[in-house]
Amino acid sequence: MNTFQNQPIRLSEEEKAAPLEALRDFFDNCPLGDIRKTLWQMVETSLAVPYSVYDKASERQYLLWFYRQLETALEASWLACRQGEKSTNNA
């Protein structure tokens, strides 16, 4: 993988300087339950359509593994944002 693919491409310079703010904005606009539902719908649709790129069992297994990893990362990000808000409010 080249360097470009391992760098943020959607974040503005301001968001790169304060990535927690970008996460807070995301979670303020997308409740965790809605994120979970949408993410699962994406996985479910990918697995249910004929002639999917996930035709092989190993590809489906990877997709489900990736889903669980991404969901875990989202939950950790959500908690980090909420904990950051609490510490900011207590300061």
Whether 42 is in a domain gets the answer yes
Whether 39 is in a domain gets the answer yes
> How far apart (Å, rounded) are the C-alpha atoms in residues 67 and 21?
24
Domains contained in the chain, number: 1
pLDDT for 31: 94
What pLDDT digit, counting tens, does each position of 11-24 carry?
999 999 999 999 99
pLDDT for 1: 59
More confident residue, 85 or 30: 30
Inform me whether the pLDDT recorded for 43 exceeds 80: yes
What domain range is 40 assigned to?
20-90
Quote the mean pLDDT of the chain.
89
What are the DSSP calls for 1-13, one per residue?
Answer: --GGGGS-SS--H
Whether 66 is in a domain gets the answer yes
Whether this model's pTM surpasses 0.95: no
Say if residues 78 and 32 touch (Cβ distance below 8 Å).
yes
Whether 9 is in a domain gets the answer no
